[in-house]
Amino acid sequence: MAMLRTKQAREMSDKDRNSRLSEMRLDLMKETGGIRMGKPLKNTGRIGELKRSIARILTIKNEIRRQNGAKKK
């Protein structure tokens, strides 16, 4: 999965954004689980890239929620 740009995340529908978020979280769990099991990483920057992309999506979701005037859960 390629790195997610902010512009791309903003252009996605809410449904696409949520599915991409769950995919990224699953990938992150797989990567960190592999490290804990002693599996060597092919791409060491992948974990940081996933974390940043997840943060981007969550930030955009928060911005949209605040623009719509929704209260915090």
- Whole-model pTM? 0.84
Rounded Cα distance, 54 and 38, in Å: 24
Phi, psi of 4 (to 5 degrees): -95, 125
Region of residue 15 (phi > 0: left; psi between -120 and 50: alpha; otherwise: beta)? alpha
Cβ contacts of 70 within 8 Å, gap of 6 or more: none
Kindly provide the b/e burial profile for residues 42-54, where b requires at least 16 CB atoms within 10 angstroms of the residue's own CB. eeeeebebbeebb
Q: Please write the tens of the pLDDT for every residue from 22-72.
A: 999 999 999 999 999 999 888 889 999 999 999 999 999 999 999 988 666
Catalogue all structural domains in the chain, each as residue range(s) with its CATH number.
Answer: 6-67 (1.10.287.310)
